[in-house]
Amino acid sequence: MLTNASILLLFGWAFCLAIYAYIFQYAYKENVRVISIMVLPLLLGLVWENWRLSRNWYHLQIKILGALLFSLLAFLNFKGEVNYDFERHLEIWPYGFIGIFTIISALYHDERVVIRLGEGITLLQSICLVYFAFEKGWMEPSNALQVVLLILVGLFCLFSIFHSLSYTKLAELNRLILSIFSSIAMLTFAVDHSIQVLQSDVTENEVSISLGLVALEYFLLGIALMYIFQNFLMLQVYFPAKNRFYDRLHRESMKEMNGLHIARFDSSQLNRLDAILIISLSLALFYINYHFAFIHYYSLIWILFVMAPLLPEIRKVFIKQKQEMFDAK
């Protein structure tokens, strides 16, 4: 028997399907391209990460339905728009839908998209930043601002590497600095990844291998969207805004965010062998790709972020097998 919530959900889907069927039929009639094919892997990445975090199909439907309904606002007249341009509104709609879906998803999962950090992650981020600077040509700064940014990045990287290779106690201030550094690094990688992926020239008519690689990049970007939004929220509180310039309420918000940054950073020390493994493997991969360009630099960075948590486990398996072989003798 259907519950009231299920009936409302079905009614919502029926309403959305009717509205969007009319929109897409009109687009077909006017010979307007509806959406780029690359929006699909972007959306699939976001859906996949939602499912991975909650495993709740009913709640996932509600989030998608809510995003579909709110994104209809994209078809309203813009302020000052005299002649309604349907094609322009249709081009904006999919990105509005994905943006709203991302915000709803991040707010729904809340603390689950606050990435737990440790010395290993910040170590990898530091190495990735150095590789990123080489790929972007920032190692030869052309103005004073670039010099200052390069010095700051270098200091943060040295700070992170020092804590990863030493057993210095992670005081609250150090954890706060490393956590904020991590958010800045991830937001930098994410913005650059978004720009590079969205500027890709591969189209549906090109070879399947190139199309597949770009689709993978869009899928990875879709997975990262909630975390990009969360990192933005964890940084924006430190900057002034309208009606907020480091007054009492602003300082209280900053203090609260400081607590969140400190709480998410694991105070346990990274095993030195794990640190050496991360440094050796990442440097080797970056060196090879820098000289031979097998894949885009931003894709390699994100692949390493996905694979890095597995490295300590792989090392433990090898150690266990070696111990078993030794015991067998």
Average pLDDT over residues 236-265: 90
What is the rounded CA–CA span in Å between residue 125 and residue 183? 10
Average pLDDT over residues 30-41: 79
- At residue 137 the predicted structure's pLDDT band, cuts being 50, 70 and 90, is confident
- Indicate if the pLDDT at residue 214 is higher than 60: yes
- At residue 329 the predicted structure's pLDDT band, cuts being 50, 70 and 90, is low
27 vs 102: which has the higher pLDDT: 102
pTM of the model: 0.81
Q: What is the mean pLDDT of the chain?
A: 85
- Indicate if the pLDDT at residue 116 is higher than 80: yes
Give yes or no for a contact between 120 and 274, defined as CB atoms under 8 angstroms apart: yes
Average pLDDT over residues 33-43: 81
CB atoms within 10 A of CB 178: 26
- At residue 272 the predicted structure's pLDDT band, cuts being 50, 70 and 90, is confident
Q: What is the pLDDT of residue 244?
A: 82
- Would you report the helix, strand and coil content of the chain in percent, each value rounded to 5? 75, 0, 20
pLDDT in tens, 231-248: 999 999 999 888 788 888
pLDDT in tens, 84-108: 888 888 888 988 999 999 999 999 9
What angle (nearest 5°) sits at the alpha carbon of residue 318, between those of residues 326 and 314?
A: 165
Percent of the chain residues past pLDDT 90, beyond the cut: 36
Distances (CA, A) of 69 to 26, 56, 73: 18, 20, 8
